[in-house]
Amino acid sequence: MTCSSGVSALVLVLGDQLSIPLAALRAADPAKSVVLMAEVTAEATYVRHHKKKIAFLFSAMRHFAEALRDAGWRVDYVRLDDAGNTGTLSGETRRALARHGLGRVIVTHPGEWRVLEDMRSWPAAFGVPVDILDDDRFIFPLPDFAAWAAGRKQLRMEFFYRDMRRRTGLLMDGVEPAGGVWNFDAANRKPAGAGSIFPDPAQFPPDAITREVLDLVADRFGEHFGILEPFWFAVTQAAAEQAFEQFLVQSLPKFGDYQDAMLRSQRFLFHAVIGLYLNAGLLDPLSVCRAAEAEYRAGRAPLNAVEGFIRQIIGWREYVRGFYWLNMPGYALENALGATRDLPDLYWSGETDMACLRACIRQTAEEAYAHHIQRLMVTGNFALLVGIEPSQVHEWYLAVYADAYEWVELPNTLGMSQFADGGKLASKPYAASGNYIHKMSDYCRGCAYDVAAKTGASACPFNYLYWDFLVRNRDRLGANPRLAQSYRTYDKLPEARKKAIGQSAEAFLARL
Ligand code: FAD
Ligand code: DLZ
Ligand code: SF4
Ligand 3 neighbourhood includes 444 CB (under 6 angstroms): yes
The pLDDT confidence band at residue 1, using thresholds 50, 70 and 90, is very low
Average pLDDT over residues 338-349: 98
Please give the pLDDT value at position 5. 55
CATH number at residue 255: 1.25.40.80
254 pLDDT higher than 80: yes
Mutate to test the pocket of ligand 3, among 378, 445, 451, 458 (most ligand atoms within 8 A of CB): 451
**Edge to edge, what strands does the sheet with 130-133 contain?**
75-78, 34-38, 10-12, 105-108, 130-133
191 pLDDT higher than 80: no
Please give the pLDDT value at position 4. 43
Q: Which of 265, 299, 327 lies at the terminal end of a domain, its last residue? A: 327
The pLDDT confidence band at residue 265, using thresholds 50, 70 and 90, is confident
Hey, CA dihedral for 264, 274, 233, 246, is it positive or negative?
positive
Share of the chain above pLDDT 70, in %: 98
The pLDDT confidence band at residue 3, using thresholds 50, 70 and 90, is very low
Please report, for the chain, how many H helices and E strands are present, in that order: 25, 7
Same domain, 262 and 353: no
Could you give phi then psi for residue 383, rounded to 5 degrees?
-60, -40
Same domain, 147 and 276: yes
Same domain, 124 and 257: no
Does the residue 273 lie in any domain? yes
Ligand 2 neighbourhood includes 76 CB (under 6 angstroms): no
Same domain, 176 and 65: no
Does the residue 465 lie in any domain? yes
Quote the DSSP letter at residue 427. S
Ligand 3 center to residue 339 CA distance, Å? 23
* Contacts of the segment 76-82: beta carbons below 8 A, 24+ positions apart: 76/34, 76/35, 76/36, 76/37, 76/100, 77/37, 77/38, 78/36, 78/37, 78/38, 78/39, 78/40, 79/39, 80/39, 80/40, 80/41, 80/44, 80/216, 80/220, 81/216, 81/220
Same domain, 153 and 101: no
What's the pTM value of the predicted model, to 2 decimals? 0.97
Strand-strand pairing, 105-108 and 10-12: parallel
280 pLDDT higher than 80: yes
Burial 128-139 (b: 16+ CB within 10 A, else e): bebbbbebebbb
Ligand 1 neighbourhood includes 256 CB (under 6 angstroms): no
Does the residue 42 lie in any domain? yes
pLDDT tens-digit readout, 115-167: 999 999 999 999 999 999 999 999 999 999 999 999 888 888 999 999 999 99
Please give the pLDDT value at position 164. 97
Residue type, 258: Y
Higher pLDDT, 6 or 91: 91
The pLDDT confidence band at residue 446, using thresholds 50, 70 and 90, is confident
Ligand 3 neighbourhood includes 460 CB (under 6 angstroms): yes
Burial 289-314 (b: 16+ CB within 10 A, else e): bebbbebbeeeebbbbbbbbbbbbbb
Question: What does R_g of the chain's alpha carbons equal in angstroms?
Answer: 24
249-258, 309-318, 490-499: range with lowest mean pLDDT: 249-258
Does the residue 241 lie in any domain? no
How many residues in total does the chain contain? 512
Ligand 2 neighbourhood includes 140 CB (under 6 angstroms): no
Could you give phi then psi for residue 427, rounded to 5 degrees?
-85, -15
CATH number at residue 29: 3.40.50.620
Please give the pLDDT value at position 153. 84
Ligand 2 center to residue 53 CA distance, Å? 10
89 pLDDT higher than 60: yes
Same domain, 369 and 258: no
Quote the DSSP letter at residue 47. T
Q: Which atom of ligand 3 is nearest to the CA of 434?
A: 8
Ligand 1 neighbourhood includes 437 CB (under 6 angstroms): no
pLDDT tens-digit readout, 373-401: 999 999 999 999 999 999 999 999 999 99
What's the domain range around 363?
A: 346-511
6 pLDDT higher than 90: no
- Alpha-carbon gap, residue 110 to 1, rounded angstroms: 13
Nearest to 402 by CA among 56, 119, 32: 56
Burial 483-500 (b: 16+ CB within 10 A, else e): beebbeebeeeeeeeeeb
- Alpha-carbon gap, residue 408 to 398, rounded angstroms: 9
Average pLDDT for the chain: 95
Does the residue 407 lie in any domain? yes
Please give the pLDDT value at position 194. 57
Mutate to test the pocket of ligand 2, among 10, 13, 14, 92 (most ligand atoms within 8 A of CB): 14
Q: Count up the domains in the chain and report the number.
A: 3
Same domain, 170 and 295: yes
- Under a CB-based contact definition with an 8 Å cutoff, are residues 89 and 121 in contact? no
Same domain, 261 and 365: no
- Alpha-carbon gap, residue 337 to 244, rounded angstroms: 39
- Under a CB-based contact definition with an 8 Å cutoff, are residues 334 and 425 in contact? no
- Alpha-carbon gap, residue 244 to 356, rounded angstroms: 29
244 pLDDT higher than 70: yes
- Alpha-carbon gap, residue 202 to 233, rounded angstroms: 8
Please give the pLDDT value at position 185. 84
For residue 174, what are the contacts with CB-CB under 8 A and spacing of at least 6?
A: none
